Structure 1
Amino acid sequence: MSAAPRLLALLSLLQSGRRWSGAELSSRLEVSARTVRRDVARLRELGYRIDAAHGRDGAYRLGAGTALPPLLFDDEQATAIAIALQASGALGAEIEDAAARALATLRRVMPARLAHHLHALHIATVARAGDSAAPPVHPTELLALARAIRERHSIRFTYDRFGTTAPDGGPPVAPRCAEPHHLVAAHGRWYLLAWDVERDDWRLFAVHRIALRTPYGPRFARRQLPTPTVGEFVAARFKGSDIDAWPCRGAVVLQLPAGDVIPFAGDGTVTPIDDRSCTLEAGSWSWDSLAASFGRFGADMRVVGPPELAAAFASVAERFAHSAPRRANAGLAPDAPAS
């Protein structure tokens, strides 16, 4: 093996993250220990920090340097990076320009066998239906929170819940104190999962509403999440529950074909009854909201259960009736003059 391919092979081995003895590298590269030492010195000249342990065989491990040196990616890694860079617009962070430049750099040096496929791959990112747009978060804000999470520093910040620092001309928003646990990207927004010290409970904070106060606060002992994973906790909070399940679930029989209901059922379960009707089981954060959600289909229906859902239908129907114009209640045409 000539010098250049051998250097790339050595770099590939070191990038695996493990510690390699001089004897192992000599065997894998089929060269002498002296050649290994010389190649390690060449990589160091290129900017790679390679830590060495002294001993009979010596040991080498790739470390973090002061600057980013050239990197070596296999086909799967290069493909994953290219896809992630194209999908960066869905993250809600101000990195689109940097991601486009990085993707262009990667494509210029990508092997033809990969470039041929990835040039045909164009990813368009759109917001999920019903998601409101949030201001993008600058990477420096994410890095500041990430540092606090990594070093377990509590943070003090003002939190703009209402989109203004002083709603209705009231007093300024009081600072909050929290123990940051995790950064979460969901539905095109960034959230901070943290333990709210004053409220003695877990909270999700929208990062674009956080104004950090520096320096960081005292260190804290990491707490145990009430759910096995961060994803389960976030999914549960989005459902208004302590577990990843809707707190209110019920079922109705809709006088609609299953095929007409399935595209709009969300995470509900549709079961066909016949060609003209089906059962829809779904959940929501309250019984009234669940009853109202069934009403969006604009079809006759019958409540299967539970009794709380039937009571909610009665409550929602009464509320809607009171909200209707008086002339509609009187059976008048929309353009008829009121008496």
Structure 2
Amino acid sequence: MSKAKRLLDILLFASAKKKFTAQEIADEFRISVRTVHRYILDLSDMGLPVYAEQGRNGGYTVLSSKMLPPILFTEEEAVAIFFAFQSLSYYRDLPFDAEISSVAQKLYRSLQVDAKGKVDKVCSYIAFWNPKRTIDTPFLKDTLEAAIENKNIHMHYESKGGTKTKHIRPIGVYAHDGLWYLPAFDYTKQKVLLYRIDRILSIISTEENKDEYMNLEQWFGSYEIKQPVRLHVQLTQEGVRQCKSVPSLEGIVIIHEDGTGYIDSPIDKGEIDFSMPLFYRLGPHARVIEPQELIDGMRKHAEGILMMYQDN
């Protein structure tokens, strides 16, 4: 039997038993105790968290049983994994930053020379690009753990009106445009609100919930229009091109034969403030017909900028 196969068998045996002696492994696999000690050292170098106890009643203890057996990847699969890792490199903070780095190093070391060369080339010629953010998100892992463990959070949050104390029930976290967001049920507002995790100044305390609540996947699929208003916008060719690049709008853009188009679809009233910056940025390429609240908001914004640049 090859050494690699023997190591795999011992790894599975040790992970299942958790506490064992060298003699037990020697008897199980019919090898010498000296060979067992050498194999345990090899497994330890490979990442098996094992603790050796000396003495008459000593032996080995696996500190964590959450170890996966070796997985064989093809060269193309290994390249795909490194490409996925590269897509995460544009985020300053990640919930499992240290673990991702460790996985990448282990996988890269295990590759043959040809496969390493291919990974290096692919990473040099293709990228999953996102804007590189320099904003710290120190409470990213804490908020994710609170969501997974079904805990409420009392926190200090930096909002438009200044620092406020919030009591929330996290649903999950997601990344968008280089930033991390936290949808959560706000106990004061009695509805789900969206928070920027980098704007959390401190977590005061947490508390466990006995009942279950929706998770992030369910929240993404639970969108409903509670206060419908009509969004009607006329678009030039450039307006069509820009709106087709916005995920929330691309499915409702209607295009004419000449390349111009329009949007005529119900949206929730709460989305008006979020859509205003986009249509304001499009300028003459997007003429809003409805709702009136959106028109008024864009006009007020434009008047404020004109006042700022008026001649004295």
Supply the AA of the counterpart residue of 1:120.
K
Q: Aligned pair in 2 of structure 1 residues 291, 325: CA closer, same or farther (>3 Å)?
A: closer
Aligned partner of residue 173 in structure 2, secondary structure: strand
Deviations 1:162-207 (A, max 9, x none): 4xxx94xxxxx45322233322222222223333233333232222
Distance 1:232 1:99 in 2: 28
Maintained 8 Å contact 2:233/2:288:
yes
Distance 2:81 2:180 in 1: 21
Structure with greater helix share of residues: 2
- Once the two structures are TM-superposed, the CA of residue 159 in structure 1 deviates from its matched residue by 0.9
Q: Aligned pair in 2 of structure 1 residues 147, 115: CA closer, same or farther (>3 Å)?
A: same
Distance 2:100 2:119 in 1: 15
Maintained 8 Å contact 1:180/1:193:
yes
Maintained 8 Å contact 2:240/2:261:
no
Aligned partner of residue 90 in structure 2, secondary structure: helix
**CA RMSD after TM alignment:** 5.2
Q: Which residue of 2 aligns with 1:145?
A: 143
Deviations 1:229-250 (A, max 9, x none): 23346xx5xxxxx55x995454
Matched, 1:127 2:121: no
- Once the two structures are TM-superposed, the CA of residue 158 in structure 1 deviates from its matched residue by 0.8
- TM-score w.r.t. length of structure 2: 0.59
Q: Aligned pair in 2 of structure 1 residues 121, 176: CA closer, same or farther (>3 Å)?
A: same
Maintained 8 Å contact 1:270/1:281:
yes
Q: Which residue of 2 aligns with 1:25?
A: none
Higher RCO, Cα 8 Å, sep 6+ = 2
Matched, 1:217 2:245: no
Matched, 1:278 2:292: no
Supply the AA of the counterpart residue of 1:263.
R
Distance 1:157 1:288 in 2: 25
Q: Which residue of 1 aligns with 2:5?
A: 5
Matched, 1:86 2:86: yes
Q: Aligned pair in 2 of structure 1 residues 10, 251: CA closer, same or farther (>3 Å)?
A: farther
1:97-246 equivalence runs, <5 A: 103=104, 106-122=107-123, 123=127, 125-127=129-131, 135-138=135-138, 141-162=139-160, 167=162, 173-213=163-203, 216-225=205-214, 229-232=218-221, 242=224
Deviations 1:85-110 (A, max 9, x none): 21223334168898667645532331
Q: Aligned pair in 2 of structure 1 residues 317, 152: CA closer, same or farther (>3 Å)?
A: closer
Q: Which residue of 2 aligns with 1:65?
A: 63
Maintained 8 Å contact 2:168/2:185:
yes
Supply the AA of the counterpart residue of 2:29.
T
Maintained 8 Å contact 1:248/1:287:
no
Maintained 8 Å contact 2:233/2:286:
no
Supply the AA of the counterpart residue of 1:65.
L
Q: Which residue of 2 aligns with 1:26?
A: none
- Once the two structures are TM-superposed, the CA of residue 314 in structure 1 deviates from its matched residue by 7.7
Distance 2:147 2:286 in 1: 52
Deviations 1:25-74 (A, max 9, x none): xxxxxxxx9439999x7776634479xxxxxxxxxxxx973599897343
Q: Aligned pair in 2 of structure 1 residues 10, 121: CA closer, same or farther (>3 Å)?
A: farther
Q: Aligned pair in 2 of structure 1 residues 179, 134: CA closer, same or farther (>3 Å)?
A: farther
Q: Aligned pair in 2 of structure 1 residues 315, 143: CA closer, same or farther (>3 Å)?
A: closer
Deviations 1:299-319 (A, max 9, x none): 69796xxxx45x679868986
Maintained 8 Å contact 1:158/1:210:
yes
Distance 1:195 1:180 in 2: 6
- Aligned length, in residue pairs: 269
Q: Aligned pair in 2 of structure 1 residues 8, 116: CA closer, same or farther (>3 Å)?
A: farther
- Among the aligned pairs, what percent are the same residue? 15
Supply the AA of the counterpart residue of 1:149.
A
Q: Aligned pair in 2 of structure 1 residues 68, 160: CA closer, same or farther (>3 Å)?
A: same
- Once the two structures are TM-superposed, the CA of residue 264 in structure 1 deviates from its matched residue by 1.2
Q: Aligned pair in 2 of structure 1 residues 226, 181: CA closer, same or farther (>3 Å)?
A: closer
List alignment gaps of at least 5 residues for structure 2: 18-26, 51-60
Distance 1:324 1:318 in 2: 10
- TM-score w.r.t. length of structure 1: 0.56
Q: Which residue of 2 aligns with 1:29?
A: none
Q: Aligned pair in 2 of structure 1 residues 322, 161: CA closer, same or farther (>3 Å)?
A: closer
Aligned partner of residue 108 in structure 1, secondary structure: helix
Q: Aligned pair in 2 of structure 1 residues 272, 189: CA closer, same or farther (>3 Å)?
A: closer
Q: Which residue of 2 aligns with 1:23?
A: none
- Once the two structures are TM-superposed, the CA of residue 219 in structure 1 deviates from its matched residue by 1.7
